Amino acid sequence: MKKDKSPAKIGTSPDTSHPNHTSEHRPHSSLFSSRVVLTSLPHLDTFGCTKVDAVEEDFLRSIEASWTVRGQEKDMYAESSKISSKNAMRASLTLDQGLEEFYLSRVSMKETSLTVLDGPHKGLEVPLTQDMFYIGREEWCDLSLPNDKRVSSVHCELRVEKKGVRLIDRGSRNGSFINDVQVNDAFLTPDTTFKVGHSVCVLRTTTKKTQIDIRFSDDSGQLVGQEPAMREIFTLLPRLAKKGIPLLLTGETGTGKSSIANVLHQQSQREGECVVVNCGALSPSLIESELFGYEKGAFTGAEQRHQGYIEQAQGGTLFLDEIGELPLSLQPKLLDVLERKRLRRLGGTKEIALDFQLVTATHRDLKQQVELGEFRKDLFYRIAVMELHVPALRERKRDLPLLISHLLQQISPDQYIKVTKDALQALKEYHWPGNLRELRNVLERSLILVEEAELDADSLLMPHSHQSLPTEAPKPQTSPQDIRTMKDLLADAEAAILEDVLNALHWNVSKTAQTLEVSRSWLHGRIRFYQLKRPTD
């Protein structure tokens, strides 16, 4: 998907489809409620789309916000449906910007449907009732085409925006086509036909108007964000939870992958627990027994039967965090358990039937690990039936006001917190290598010393690395007698970066390893190799 380029608008003739489908309106009472309705100049396109920059009943959960909008100050109030008004946290963000950035966005457009004109599912029709609409062979897709073998599992998506309906190919095997031209990202006009696999589809509109909500939170209100990558996660989680599809979450450390796994478990309504296993934190000598369990007498010290983490997730969700750290020797055994849904404890003879939802996460590139022989290809395909990438915080800068308000509610639910414009700007300018985890830490420690419940730029306790993290590698000497090998130059650069980050984080090895996304053992080895020394005061 092209991120920074405006897609082309392409018009044509007819084609579209899917069965009768009703979109259940999901309430947003836990997040977004306002008593003010603001409208801006409408944005119109060929679908009659109008962006309504207003919200009727939903703003950030438990937030009182004071905004300066179009020269007039509007006071916004919201009450959470899940906590009493007595304990509701009120956070005030003083910002000179429009409310549309923080609200549920609403698009008014002509009623639109997608119809399959040709192919195995000819005649199938489905209305376009939500902002993200998926086409593929998977049963949970909005337009499901299981009999079209040239269609990928999740082939493409239609995204409703203020400019119109946008077609985005999802990296399909056989591509998406408009007028026999393959496209990755393009706006569609009414009666435009496009082809996926053997299926020819068309968008058709009526004269009747409808409204489509573009939501900036998941159903539970625990996840917030405006960025398309986050909205995609909000849209897909209920479907994945309902179907029990294995999900792989990718993204940097601290981006909130565990929170997403927990929300998925809640939405699955499974009666069992969500069992969280950090594969990178388990001792190599104990990981097999901890995962698979053991019988009494299975080995020295096994004095009683022990249920492993996999068995503990029975009837619930198994979340294997940092799955890329799982030893290669154990991967075949895990694959067997996932394939057959049966487990045998160490030292046992009886097989145990299993039923759990599988969620895995990693900050590594598993496809690259597969190519390097460090991760089994068959296991990768088993755990990544659906893969979602969680963006880094530096890629979500316009989500910061939402995230700050959400985190302040969790940190200080009974206190009125005011976040000033200069504080927000300082937070936006920081690069956040630790992502959401680091943002929460900054807010928590800043609030400790705040006396008047107001966070301004001066009261923010930002990481020391804000100024001291290196931005450039050491430049090599250019005189002939000083020319050195590439290996030596790279070693110098690595040593300099490690020393700078260690100093910036006061030689906290664990935090440095987390920030640089390396293991502590690797970092300790490099410290010894380069003979790095902690500076003395």
HEC states along 279-322?
A: CCCCCCCCHHHHHHCECCCCCCCCCCCECCHHHHCCCCEEEEEC
- CATH architecture, domain defined by 104-214: Sandwich (2.60)
- Rounded Cα distance between 370 and 377, Å, is 6
Cα–Cα distances in angstroms (integers) from residue 496 to residues 475, 490, 501, in the given order? 12, 10, 9
pTM over 0.75: no
Nearest to residue 267, comparing CAs of 288, 245, 239?
Answer: 239
Determine contact, residues 88/62, Cβ cutoff 8 Å.
yes
The arrangement of secondary structure in 393-455, i.e. its CATH architecture, is: Orthogonal Bundle (1.10)
Mean pLDDT of the chain: 78
3-state secondary structure 29-80: CCCECCCCCCCCCCCCCCCCCEEECCCCCCECCCCEEEEEECCEEEEEECCC
Average pLDDT for residues 225-239, to the nearest whole number? 91
DSSP state of 212: E
pLDDT exceeds 50 at position 72:
no
396-449 residue pLDDT tens: 988 999 899 889 988 888 877 888 999 999 999 999 989 999 999 999 988 887
Coil, helix or strand at residue 506: coil
- Tokens, residue 475: 């430049």
Name the residue ranges covered by the structural domains of the chain: 104-214, 228-389, 393-455, 487-530
Q: Which of 78-92, 191-205, 291-305 has the highest mean pLDDT?
A: 191-205
Q: How far is CA 145 from CA 128, 135, 530, in A?
A: 16, 7, 57
Using the 8-state DSSP alphabet, how is residue 390 labeled? Answer: P
pLDDT of residue 233: 93
Q: The tokens of 321 are what?
A: 């965090």
Alpha-carbon distance of 286 to 288, in angstroms, equals 6
Return the DSSP state at 466.
H
pLDDT at 100 over 70: no
Question: Which residue in 313, 395, 396, 311 sits closest to 346, CA to CA?
Answer: 311
Instruction: Report which of 23, 515, 510, 537 is spatially closest to residue 281, judged by C-alpha positions.
Output: 510
Q: What is the mean pLDDT of residues 457-466?
A: 75
What fold does the segment set 228-389 form as a domain? Rossmann fold (3.40.50)
